[in-house]
Every structure is written in C-alpha cells, then in structure tokens.
C-alpha cells in the first residue's frame, strides 16, 4: 500500500511517501496505529488528520484499507 503524506504530516513522518507491504486488509485505525507506532510526532498528526483511501475520505476509522490502496494523509490546514 502506498502512503502519501502532505504538509505537516510529511514533516512529522520525515518522508513524503512510503510503501507498506500488507498481506491483508487493515482498518484505518490499525494503519494509523502502525504508522505512528515508533514516530510519536507523526502519531499526534495522524490523530487529527483526514485520511483518504484511493481518493475518498475515510469517514470512520473502522473502514478497511485494501492491500493495494493509495492512502493520503492530510493534516488540518490553516488559513482561509
């Protein structure tokens, strides 16, 4: 699965993109937990970020993410 980080999420992750090998589907909550497990700063950003799965917002953290999905992590944006 391809994970793309934007703005503050990319800064917290230290990368703009990473590939995660997934042998099975996981929920958004499980994925977020895995991504932030050893990156405390990223975990904090993930907790307030919008997650898109193949371009569609995940409205619930219980939604499943397919093995070959593209996941976009969009932190809250300031401005207006």
The answer to whether residue 39 sits within a structural domain is yes
Domain count, the chain: 1
The answer to whether residue 80 sits within a structural domain is no
Q: What is the pLDDT at residue 78?
A: 60
Reported as a single tens digit per residue, the pLDDT across 45-66 is: 999 999 999 999 999 999 999 9
The answer to whether residue 57 sits within a structural domain is yes
For strands 56-57 and 50-53, give the pairing: antiparallel
**Domain holding 42: CATH number?**
3.10.20.30
What are the helix (H) ranges across 19-60? 28-36, 40-48
Reported as a single tens digit per residue, the pLDDT across 21-46 is: 878 889 999 999 999 999 999 999 99
Q: What is the pLDDT at residue 28?
A: 96
The boundaries of the domain holding residue 40 are 2-74
Q: Which two three-digit tokens encode residue 4?
A: 């793309």
């Amino acid at each position: 699965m391809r994970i793309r980080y934007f703005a503050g999420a990319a800064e917290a992750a230290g990368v703009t993109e990473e590939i995660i090998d997934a042998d099975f589907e996981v929920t958004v909550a499980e994925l977020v937990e895995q991504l932030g497990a050893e990156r405390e700063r990223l975990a904090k950003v993930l907790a307030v970020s919008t997650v898109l799965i193949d371009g569609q917002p995940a409205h619930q953290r219980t939604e499943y993410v397919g093995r070959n999905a593209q996941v976009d992590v969009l932190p809250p944006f300031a401005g207006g």
